């Protein structure tokens, strides 16, 4: 049976009290009974609702507009550096983002493919509209999931626990857990030049009352901001003046369930800004809400708008742009790298200053959205709030940026909401076993004052937490609580067995000079294919098993060295940082680390490592500098 309509749910779970209709509460509101309510139909809400329902919890998804479920608001792409690792982990845990990307991909690229396996990250351009339709259809097929068009108004609490969710249309949804995935909609304001209006996205209303309810429950909220990019009509672009970014010749799909990525890949294109572009922006900096102080919320550090680039980096003479197709059946192109909120007429002048875009027709202008977020340090590592039992938050409302970070949180929060509703132990992921664990630990222990983005450098164990082995790391854990089915788990078990057999075989096969296949694999110039050419017995090893054995063999020494480095950092936590220490003098320290450490002035290395945005790599560099200074 497809997704049940709400009247069926009310009939099945009606009130028992005499003298009242089964769908009307004592205060006159329409009554619904369920176990878990998910607020918001974005990437966090979709994964939360699906995980909750798949674990057996009756789940209601409340969304302002069901037609926008799974909508890709910004760039039409899934994955990227750090983000691709998250998508692989979501897939390994039974989530749908990887499958949705594969079903609607128009181009695949493995980023950092020329570098080591720890930083290789899959990315796919997708068909924006086909993707959201696929996601909505998937949710509608889930039996225990009910979709309701409405707006969350208030969370009702009794004895310190969630009791119900009240909605704008007068529903009172009694439940055991609520997962708030409000994205950028909570008390949101849109900004375009001097224009300002209420909205969560252009053309969609803001969530007006939920923030007041959360604040009244004692949660601390703060304001954040993100900027969007313009879209142009591809028929007005002179592609002969642009660079071409083609997909990989042998594309790798996202989901471990997708056998092969057999699609016709569409090209993306590249362009460059110039002095004319900068001049067009400089002339209207006093009309940009992002530069004049009209917006209180902080923007994403690693995705600055064009105004910030021009004002902060005046020495730069040009900036790179990516022109990405929005879909297979659309002429719209997304101008990645051109996020802005300057006035419309200035956006047109700015865009047309770029070679190849001289006659570009702007279909949608870029704008800024400012919204409420919850201080993530108020959350447990299950993403349940510490103050209110059964109240979970996930996604951009927790101060993150990006579809992938949102989806990962949604899966974890929805899982724990369903487990709690059933009286089962919580599901946790540590920093040592998943990038999702790194993301959640960073948020809940370090917090953030700007939209958080995950990078591979934030993970201490990134040589172990690779995108290629996410199923081997996590699918067994997902199976134990019921997130994945027996067939999916069986596929992972067969791979584990193949890896073990291949490793043993590589250790026993010896060539004429006395070296084993395993010893040869340790050499940088050797590959599995070159070694297999010497040992015919290796020819029948499955490709994925061969890949795992090659990586683990070749990088065993690096993995051990990384573990020793982590141990040294932990042991050296009490190392004092002198007063007036110049963090800018530490060569290789990230810009974010320099800025935040200079502002916060930690007194010990441990305190420095606890600062949001200071990665383990930053900590290692700081340790070396402090030791040299001490000597």
* Domains defined along the chain, listed by start: 231-370 (2.40.30.260), 485-558 (1.10.10.1800), 572-630 (1.10.150.570)
Question: Crossing angle of helices 83-92/403-421, nearest 10°?
Answer: 30
pLDDT in tens, 38-47: 999 999 999 9
| Tokens standing for residue 204 | 């969609």
Residue 50 is encoded by which pair of tokens? 């699906």
| Backbone conformation region of residue 367, classed left if phi is above 0, alpha if psi is from -120 to 50, else beta | beta
* pLDDT band at 18; cut points 50, 70, 90: very low
- Could you say which DSSP state residue 25 is in? -
Q: Where does the pLDDT of residue 470 fall: very low under 50, low under 70, confident under 90, or very high at 90 and above?
A: very high
Lowest mean pLDDT among 17-21, 135-139, 213-217: 17-21
Strand partners, 393: 180
Beta carbons of 218 and 387 less than 8 angstroms apart? yes
pLDDT of 146 reads: 98
Report the alpha-carbon distance of residue 69 to residue 54 in Å, rounded. Answer: 18
- Confidence label for 346 from pLDDT (cuts 50, 70 and 90): very high
Read off the pLDDT band of 616 (50, 70, 90).
confident
407-2-143 Cα angle (round to 5): 60
Label residue 628 left, alpha or beta by phi (over 0 means left) and psi (-120 to 50 means alpha).
alpha
- Rg of the chain over Cα atoms, rounded to whole angstroms, equals 26
In this structure, the strands spanning 36-39 and 177-180 are parallel
Return all residues near 533 (Cβ < 8 A) that are at least 6 apart: none
* Selection from 229-238, 301-310, 460-469, 512-521 with the highest mean pLDDT: 229-238
Inform me whether the pLDDT recorded for 402 exceeds 90.
yes
Average pLDDT over residues 141-154: 97
3-state secondary structure at position 449: coil
User: Which candidate, 146, 353, 406, places its Cα nearest to that of 241?
Assistant: 353
Q: Which stretch of DSSP H or E encloses residue 179? A: strand 177-180
Q: Is the pLDDT of residue 8 over 80?
A: no
d(CA 279, CA 284): 9
- Which uninterrupted H or E stretch holds 629? helix 616-630
Nearest alpha carbon to residue 108 among 243, 264, 248, 245? 248
Give the number of other Cβ atoms within 10 Å of residue 436's Cβ. 27
Q: Which of 23-27, 130-134, 528-532, 576-580 has the lowest average pLDDT?
A: 23-27
Report the percent of the chain where pLDDT is more than 70.
95
Q: What is the pLDDT of residue 21?
A: 33
Q: Degrees (nearest 5) of the Cα angle 91, 97, 100?
A: 115
Ramachandran angles phi, psi of 509, nearest 5°? -75, 125
Token pair listed for 604: 């010990």
Q: Identify the weakest region by mean pLDDT among 166-180, 327-341, 414-428, 552-566.
A: 552-566
Contacts of 500 (CB under 8 A, 6+ apart): none
Which of 197, 203, 198, 202 is CA-nearest to residue 187?
198
Tell me the C-alpha to C-alpha distance, in Å, between residue 305 and each of 77, 190, 406, 517, 606.
Answer: 18, 15, 21, 51, 33
Residue 13 CA to residue 575 CA, distance in Å, equals 60
Helix %, strand %, coil % for the chain, to 5? 40, 20, 40
Confidence (pLDDT) at 612: 85
Whether residue 182 is predicted with pLDDT greater than 90 in this model: the reply is yes
- The structure tokens 């969609």 sit at 204
Sheet hosting strand 221-227, strand order edge to edge = 195-198, 189-192, 368-374, 221-227
Average pLDDT over residues 231-236: 98
Of 60-64, 587-591, 613-617, the poorest mean pLDDT is in 613-617
Edge-to-edge strand order for the sheet containing 171-174?
30-33, 171-174, 161-167, 152-158
- For the cut 90, the answer to whether the pLDDT of residue 553 exceeds it is yes
Lowest mean pLDDT among 25-39, 218-232, 497-511: 25-39
């Amino acid at each position: 049976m497809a997704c049940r309509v709400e009247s069926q749910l009310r009939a099945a779970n009606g009130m028992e009290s005499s003298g009242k209709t089964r769908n009307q509460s004592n205060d006159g509101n329409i009554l619904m009974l369920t176990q878990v309510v998910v607020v918001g139909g974005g990437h966090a809400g979709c994964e939360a609702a699906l995980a909750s329902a798949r674990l057996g919890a009756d789940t209601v998804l409340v969304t302002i507009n069901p037609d926008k479920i799974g909508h890709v608001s910004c760039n039409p792409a899934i994955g990227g550096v750090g983000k691709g690792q998250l998508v692989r982990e979501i897939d390994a845990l039974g989530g749908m983002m990887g499958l949705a990307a594969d079903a609607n991909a128009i181009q695949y690229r493995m980023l950092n493919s020329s570098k080591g396996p720890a930083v290789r990250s899959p990315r796919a351009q997708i068909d924006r509209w086909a993707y959201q339709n696929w996601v909505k259809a998937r949710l509608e097929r889930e039996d225990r999931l009910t979709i309701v068009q409405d707006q969350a108004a208030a969370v009702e609490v009794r004895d310190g626990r969630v009791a119900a969710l009240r909605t704008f249309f007068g529903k009172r949804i009694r439940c055991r857990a609520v997962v708030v995935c409000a994205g950028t909609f909570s008390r949101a304001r849109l900004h375009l030049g001097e224009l300002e209006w209420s909205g969560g996205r252009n053309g969609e209303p803001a969530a007006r009352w939920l923030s007041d309810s959360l604040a009244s429950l004692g949660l601390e909220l703060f304001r954040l901001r993100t900027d969007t990019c313009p879209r142009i009509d591809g028929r007005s672009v002179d592609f002969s003046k642009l660079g071409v970014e083609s997909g990989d010749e042998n594309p790798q799909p996202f989901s471990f369930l997708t056998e092969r990525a057999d699609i016709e890949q569409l090209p993306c294109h590249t362009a460059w800004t110039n002095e004319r572009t900068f001049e067009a922006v400089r002339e209207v900096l006093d009309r940009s809400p992002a530069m004049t102080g009209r917006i209180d919320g902080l923007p994403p550090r690693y995705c600055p708008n064009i105004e910030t680039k021009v004002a902060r980096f005046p020495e730069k003479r040009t900036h790179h742009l990516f022109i990405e197709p929005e879909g297979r059946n659309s002429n719209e192109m997304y101008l990645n790298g051109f996020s802005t909120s300057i006035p419309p007429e200035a956006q047109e002048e700015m865009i047309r200053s770029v070679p190849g875009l001289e006659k570009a027709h702007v279909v949608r202008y870029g704008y800024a959205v400012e919204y409420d977020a919850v201080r993530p340090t108020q959350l447990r590592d299950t993403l349940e709030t510490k103050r209110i039992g059964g109240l979970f938050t996930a996604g951009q409302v927790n101060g993150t940026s990006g579809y992938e970070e949102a989806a990962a949180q949604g899966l974890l929060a929805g899982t724990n909401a369903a487990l709690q509703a059933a009286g089962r132990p919580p599901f946790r992921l540590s920093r040592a076993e998943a990038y999702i664990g790194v993301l959640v630990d960073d948020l809940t222990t370090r917090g953030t004052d700007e939209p958080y983005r995950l990078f591979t450098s934030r993970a201490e164990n990134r040589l172990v937490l690779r995108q290629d082995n996410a199923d081997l790391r996590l699918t067994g854990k997902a199976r134990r609580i019921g997130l994945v089915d027996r067939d999916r788990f069986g596929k992972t078990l067969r791979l584990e067995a193949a890896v073990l057999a291949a490793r043993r075989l590589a250790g026993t096969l010896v060539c004429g000079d006395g070296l084993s296949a395993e010893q040869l694999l340790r050499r940088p110039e050797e590959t599995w294919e070159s070694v297999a050419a010497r040992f015919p017995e290796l020819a029948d090893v499955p490709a994925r098993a061969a890949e795992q054995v090659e990586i683990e063999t070749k990088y065993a020494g690096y993995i051990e060295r990384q573990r020793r480095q982590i141990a040294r950092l932990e042991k050296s936590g009490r190392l004092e940082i002198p007063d007036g220490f110049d963090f800018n003098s530490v060569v290789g320290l990230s810009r974010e680390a320099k800025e935040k450490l200079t502002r916060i002035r930690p007194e010990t290395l441990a305190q420095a490592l606890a600062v949001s945005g200071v990665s383990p790599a930053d900590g290692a560099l700081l340790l070396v500098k402090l030791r040299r200074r001490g000597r």
